[in-house]
Amino acid sequence: MAYLSLLKNPAWDMVFVFMLVAAGFFWGISGGKKKMAMGIVAIYVLTALFPFVSVDYLASGRAPNEAFMFGAGAFLILLVLLALFLLRAFRGVWKEDGAWWEILVFAILAAGFLMTSLIGLAQPSIAKNNFLNLSPLTLKLFADPIIAKWWTILPIFGVMFL
């Protein structure tokens, strides 16, 4: 019954997850499943490179919540730029293909991996004490260390096998 209340009064973070899935799905429908796979690869690349980007000076002297928001904003901006550069570099490599269910799977995997990556940017005290006011479902699905490992592993298997 608690999950039905999610439909009546959704939390902002679950609306964000649904928006990510919908945006990924429509992007995949318009661009094909290989373009979605390239987007997932862009998230992997940025997750590996982002610790070397110094955005700490933007958030120096701010509250931990604000520091997280600056870091998450920089992550999203760099993700868009990296995805655009990767798509341009591999422009003629793919055709527009993919069944709708494959694109939906890619969209769910990409949204889950992106949420896990964004929550992973927060300091452990912020996530542990829930200073971001995340819903319990979001904390369970994306901040739990065991489930977060699956969100990190499953997208690459989706790229390899779908």
The 10s digit of each residue's pLDDT in 124-151 is 777 777 778 888 888 889 988 899 999 9
Whether the CB-CB separation of 31 and 100 falls below 8 Å is answered with no
pLDDT band of 3, cuts 50, 70, 90: low
Q: What is the DSSP string of 6-52?
A: HHHS--HHHHHHHHHHHHHHHHHHHH-HHHHHHHHHHHHHHHHHGGG
pLDDT band of 5, cuts 50, 70, 90: low
Q: Which two tokens stand for residue 42?
A: 């862009």
Q: What is the DSSP string of 101-143?
A: HHHHHHHHHHHHHHHHHHHHTS-HHHHHTTTT---HHHIIIII
Please state the rounded mean pLDDT for residues 49-72: 82
- pLDDT at res. 150: 95
pLDDT band of 6, cuts 50, 70, 90: low
Q: Is the pLDDT of residue 97 over 80?
A: no
- Give the span between the Cα atoms of 30 and 96, in whole angstroms: 8
Please state the rounded mean pLDDT for residues 73-81: 93
| pTM confidence score | 0.85
Put residue 61 in one of left, alpha, beta given phi > 0 → left and psi -120 to 50 → alpha.
left
